[in-house]
Structure 1
């Protein structure tokens, strides 16, 4: 299936509602910052950024007039301090803003800021984007329902995100996967199954290979691979259920083939159940925080009416849960999808407890 038929042409940006704003304030995601997305658009010029193979990265390195550069550098150091430290200015003397890059590809058109510690040459990145409610819901759900915590800040129309380190999926598939051992390929296949299931459960769409990273973790005498989403722009917007399953994107074809060649059907089913159970446990342990987020999403406008109608119909066909047909907003669909996973987990757990009591008696 082509991407044009699978994905919408353009996703609109949705403003932060009063409920979501109150949520962000309550959980310390809102903060005053000295520079906004629009300020970074005042660059005087740019040059193309190429990779090691001299191919266009679709990023451009921007530069500013002398009159603005000093102020912008100081403001970006302040943002770095707020994001990664205590927000004070005592570390400014040790920081240098090496580069400000602007991405011309995709919906969000982010700025990528590279900050270096001049004492030891260690560097890190953070991103400056336009605030979008869909992306905020995606970041928060990733923070609560995935194995990874995320650090981000919101101020009015500007979103600051920390960098998620890893090897871009498309780069890994092209350059590194062919050299992996058979054991590593089997482990990658398992991880892709779990990643695929996790995305579908929490309705995170558009996980093409360049929208996630693969993270190698050294464990004793072998390498364990993890897959992490890095783009949360398509959180519960699209109407097609396939958009929320990475397996249906042509960019992931090699990963799907890896699963087919390395895992038996019983193993795939086992890993799906494992992931659903883990997500259900995270939903339960998140308590009031996820309830408050979903209450905001249920009342929010974060998708198109036709998308809502299509998605709730497709999920009903999959689950046969009549409650999906009653949903009026995409947030209600998301809430019910997560509740469905949680209820199934609790029903199975209760059945196991009852069976154990019967055996003991």
Structure 2
């Protein structure tokens, strides 16, 4: 299915409302940074960045005039220190800004900053983007409901995100999946089922293969693969439920074929239940933090009315829960979706406790 048929043409950025800004401040997500996204747009030229196969990466390497470069480098080192250290300047002497790349593809058009430690040549990346409330909700939900913690900072109209390491999904599918062993393919199929379920539960959309990474983890004598989202631009915006299910994007057909060829229907159902249960446990353990975030989202405008009406109708058709029909905002749809998963988990757990007591 093509992007035009499945998704809207372009998603607008949404402003951070005061309640969300206060939430971010309370959880140390805000800090006064020395450079803004708009500052990085003042580059004087650029060159195309090619990959190792001489293919256009859709990133360009930008450069600045001599009068601005020194100030920009110093500001980016300070941002790095704020994101990864204590914010002091004592590490500046060991850092070098090797590259500032600008992405020409997609909604967010981020800058990717490469910072190298000159003592040992280790390097890392971080990203500078325009602030978008829906992306912030996506980052926070990923932090609380996925197996992974995320580090990011917000200051006014600028968002700083840490780099998420891994092999881009499209690169993995093209170059590495064909040479995976049969057991590795079965394990990848399991992970894709879980990833698909997790995205649908928390309404994270547009997980085409280039919007997630495959992370190989060496475990004793074999490799275990994990799937991590890296783009949170499409959190709770689109009206079609299929957008929140990675299986429906043609870019993921190879992963869908793995599931069909490697897993029985009962196994697929088992992994879905496992993922719902894990997400439910994370919702419960996140306590007041996720409750506060969802309260804010319920009254925030992070989508358009037509999308809200469509999504609540499609989720009702799936769950037959009348509460979805009464939703007026995308935040309310999200709150009900998470509550539906949590209630089902608690109902099953209580039923099992009662059954065990009866058996005893």
TM-score (norm 2): 1.00
- 1:169 aligned onto 2:169: yes
Residue pairs, 1:36-51, within 5 angstroms: 36-51=36-51
TM-score (norm 1): 1.00
Residue pairs, 1:140-159, within 5 angstroms: 140-159=140-159
Deviation at 1:52? 0.4
Deviation at 1:3? 1.5
Q: Any unmatched runs of 5+ in structure 1?
A: none
Give the Cα separation in 2 of the matches to 1:181 and 1:47: 39
Give the Cα separation in 2 of the matches to 1:115 and 1:30: 22
Which residue is equivalent to 1:280?
A: 280
1:324-356 per-residue CA deviation (whole Å, 9 max, x = no partner) reads: 000000000000000000000000000000000
SS of the equivalent of 2:287 reads helix
- 1:127 aligned onto 2:127: yes
Deviation at 1:119? 0.1
Q: Any unmatched runs of 5+ in structure 2?
A: none
Deviation at 1:22? 0.8
Which residue is equivalent to 1:332?
A: 332
Give the Cα separation in 2 of the matches to 1:339 and 1:218: 35
1:63-108 per-residue CA deviation (whole Å, 9 max, x = no partner) reads: 0000000000000000000000000000000000000000010000
Which residue is equivalent to 1:160?
A: 160
SS of the equivalent of 2:224 reads strand
Give the Cα separation in 2 of the matches to 1:323 and 1:116: 51
Which residue is equivalent to 2:111?
A: 111
Which residue is equivalent to 1:192?
A: 192
Give the Cα separation in 2 of the matches to 1:256 and 1:45: 42
Runs of 4+ in structure 1 displaced over 3 angstroms?
none
Which residue is equivalent to 1:249?
A: 249
Which residue is equivalent to 1:265?
A: 265
Which residue is equivalent to 2:10?
A: 10
- 1:60 aligned onto 2:60: yes
Give the Cα separation in 2 of the matches to 1:182 and 1:10: 39
1:209-234 per-residue CA deviation (whole Å, 9 max, x = no partner) reads: 00000000000000000000000000
Give the Cα separation in 2 of the matches to 1:63 and 1:20: 35
Give the Cα separation in 2 of the matches to 1:197 and 1:332: 20
Which residue is equivalent to 2:19?
A: 19
Number of residues of Structure 1 aligned to a counterpart in Structure 2:
360
1:132-168 per-residue CA deviation (whole Å, 9 max, x = no partner) reads: 0000000000000000000000000000000000000
Give the Cα separation in 2 of the matches to 1:30 and 1:86: 14
Which residue is equivalent to 2:180?
A: 180
Deviation at 1:2? 1.8
Give the Cα separation in 1 of the matches to 2:25 and 2:110: 23
Which residue is equivalent to 2:29?
A: 29
Deviation at 1:50? 0.3
SS of the equivalent of 1:204 reads coil
Give the Cα separation in 1 of the matches to 2:66 and 2:189: 51
1:193-250 per-residue CA deviation (whole Å, 9 max, x = no partner) reads: 0000000000000000000000000000000000000000000000000000000000
